Amino acid sequence: MSFSLHGIAISDGYAIGRAQLYSHDRLEAPHYLLRAADLDEEVQRYEAALTTVRQECSHLRDHLPEGTPPELAAFLDLHGLFLDDSMLAEVPKRLIREQSCNAEWALAQQTESLLAQFESIEDEYLRERRHDVKQVADRVLKALLGHPGHAPLKPVEDEPTILVAHDLSPSDMVLFKRHAYAGFITDLGGATSHSAILARSLNISSVMALHNARALIQEGDTLIVDGVAGVVVVNPDEAILDEYRLRQHQWRLEQQKLRRLKSSPSSTLDGVSIELLANIDLPPDVQEALDENAAGIGLFRSEFLFLNRADQPSEDEQFEAYRHVVKVMKGRPVVIRTLDAGADKSLAWLPVKSDNPALGLRAIRLCLAEPQVFTTQLRAILRASHYGTTKILLPMLASLTELDQALALIDAAKAELKAEKIKFDPTTAIGGMIEIPAAALAAEWFARKLDFLSLGTNDLIQYTLAIDRTDDAVAHLYDPLNPGVIQLIAHTLKVGKRLHRPVSVCGEMAGDARLTRLLLGLGLRSFSMHPAHILSVKQQILRSQTDALEPMATKLLRLGDPEKIQALLAKINA
């Protein structure tokens, strides 16, 4: 029977192949009572199971295959932390003694109670960690039941294989990484789950949050994974298969065709040179930026170095990470955004409580509230500036008072380094992100105090339209073409031009090829995006004539009606 399932599109592209079911979460915990004399032994049995799992995790941690995404080691560390936490290390032992029950039953009860507690956490990122708790608890249960570790995964030879799992743990992903799966799909996993983060870095077509895929799909079923639309088609008929084979073929052709543009200079038909920069999250992503021939790093989201860990990264650790990127880019500019934590990127070691986190203590506000954290980072970035062109970018500025405070802390960090005779580039450029409407409207005053501006359109749209970026219920209202948004972008670009301050766009708009020509017409000359989008944006640039686009973009600024805006955009893109 043919049917389709809808989930969240995690990683682009199309995969067609046979289903391979991955099963490890249907373990039954037996329940029996013990005599008082046997309780010590039962507690020891539980401790032995914990030791086995600790060894398994540290073995995996020490034998990560080459090229494994760096986040994986951090996830395994997190699992190690859970194993050592009293919630798993102590409470089940207490339950064994209190209830005279077997270890499996004690663990099952405690797991259930922990999952309920995590389920009720409001913060999405922390709530997602319930999957990690479940994965660790399953491993301990397996050890108690005497099951061996996970059987190694292996795709069926000579045939594209799609992995179907209820959930995938980071340690599953180590095995997954070694084999060439065509795609994978899971029942669980929100957009910020560990598996989703890893899936993107593996670059395999995938769809998550399908709810019942594992139960409904049978081993060997034919599957289509549409990573563009977030759809999985199970046992499609020949007509649908043909349609998707065609889409897959076209998609691959497009990708190959785009590769030919890699070495073309990025300039328009009328000879205007356009800077194409890459956004990266972690130091190893820099390779992808080089592969796409990015002119530099336009946004290094440094907060990813601070997530998934129990403590703040030290100055030296941060310095090594920044220096690595700066050195690999060999003189091409690297814009390091200072810690943009808070809201959906919460830090375990610096929790922030807020009823409305997008409007709460995040980004520069959090850094100014925690000057020691901020100064440590500033010192690390400045030290890296000695090794190549480094720029500092301050996120989410709303007022000049914040900017002045941040600049004072940068000066203080420089003075410290100088006094300590530590080398840094004293001319390191300082830029500010324009992502709050007030900052866009007051761009002139920010530009006067800064070396460059960068439009964070993801947040600029969120705050201009009052739409929570993370809320599914209002996602359809998220509109980069809203006249209010376009006016703010145009105003900022105009100010930058007048005051001779470079302005780039580093939000998702920069990587959306449908908006490239409009942004060129509005005067944008520097785009920063995920490396995967660089070539499709370049393709648009190569066929553009800025002097022809400018009058059309100016005309669009005078429109308010969404239909007319869409019609003019179509003309701009024609």
Catalytic residues: 194, 506
Q: Which does 523 bind (CB under 5 to 8 A by kind): Mg ion, ligand PEP, none?
A: none
Q: Which does 461 bind (CB under 5 to 8 A by kind): ligand PEP, Mg ion, none?
A: none
Interface segment toward ligand PEP; rule CB under 6 A; list 109-117, 377-385, 455-463, 493-501: 455-463
Minimal CB distance residue for ligand PEP: 507
Restricting to residues 452-471, name those near Mg ion by CB under 5 A.
456, 459
Strand locations in 142-182 (E) = 161-165
Q: Which of 340, 370, 402, 512 binds ligand PEP (CB under 6 A)?
A: 340
Interface segment toward ligand PEP; rule CB under 6 A; list 2-10, 79-87, 171-179, 456-464: 456-464
Give the separation between CA 543 and CA 552, rounded to whole angstroms: 16
Restricting to residues 275-334, name those near ligand PEP by CB under 6 A.
299, 301
- 217 or 440, CB closer to Mg ion? 440
- Minimum CB–partner distance for residue 435 and Mg ion (Å): 5
- Minimum CB–partner distance for residue 250 and Mg ion (Å): 33
Q: Which of 69, 296, 456, 523 binds ligand PEP (CB under 6 A)?
A: 456
Integer angstrom CA distances of residue 315 from 323, 364, 491? 12, 18, 38
Give the separation between CA 510 and CA 528, rounded to whole angstroms: 6
Q: Which residues pair with 8 in a beta bridge?
A: 208
Give the separation between CA 200 and CA 227, rounded to whole angstroms: 11
Residue 455 sits at φ, ψ, to 5 deg, of: -85, 115
Q: Which does 197 bind (CB under 5 to 8 A by kind): Mg ion, ligand PEP, none?
A: none
Coil, helix or strand at residue 544: coil
- 166 or 301, CB closer to ligand PEP? 301
Q: Which does 522 bind (CB under 5 to 8 A by kind): ligand PEP, Mg ion, none?
A: none
Q: Which of 100, 405, 458, 487 binds ligand PEP (CB under 6 A)?
A: 458
Restricting to residues 431-450, name those near Mg ion by CB under 5 A.
435
Q: What is the helix (H) or strand (E) element at residue 368, kind and residue range?
A: helix 363-369
Restricting to residues 471-510, name those near ligand PEP by CB under 6 A.
506-507
Is there binding between residue 470 and ligand PEP (CB under 6 A)? no
Interface segment toward ligand PEP; rule CB under 6 A; list 60-68, 105-113, 438-446, 450-458: 450-458
- 108 or 339, CB closer to ligand PEP? 339
Q: Do 187 and 167 touch, CB atoms closer than 8 A?
A: yes
Is there binding between residue 281 and Mg ion (CB under 5 A)? no
Q: Which does 29 bind (CB under 5 to 8 A by kind): ligand PEP, Mg ion, none?
A: none
Q: Do 124 and 345 touch, CB atoms closer than 8 A?
A: no
Show the DSSP H helices in 159-272 as ranges.
170-178, 194-202, 213-216, 238-259
Q: Which does 284 bind (CB under 5 to 8 A by kind): ligand PEP, Mg ion, none?
A: none
DSSP characters over 298-342: EEEEGGGGTSSSSSPPPHHHHHHHHHHHHHHTTTS-EEEE----B
Window 504-523: contact mask with ligand PEP (x via CB under 6 A): --xx----------------
Integer angstrom CA distances of residue 561 from 433, 482, 485, 553, 565? 29, 9, 14, 15, 6
For the CA atoms of 421, 425, 426, 429, the dihedral, rounded to the nearest 10 degrees, stands at -150
First to last CA, the chain: 42
Coil, helix or strand at residue 184: strand
Residues that bind ligand PEP (CB under 6 A): 299, 301, 340, 435, 456-459, 506-507
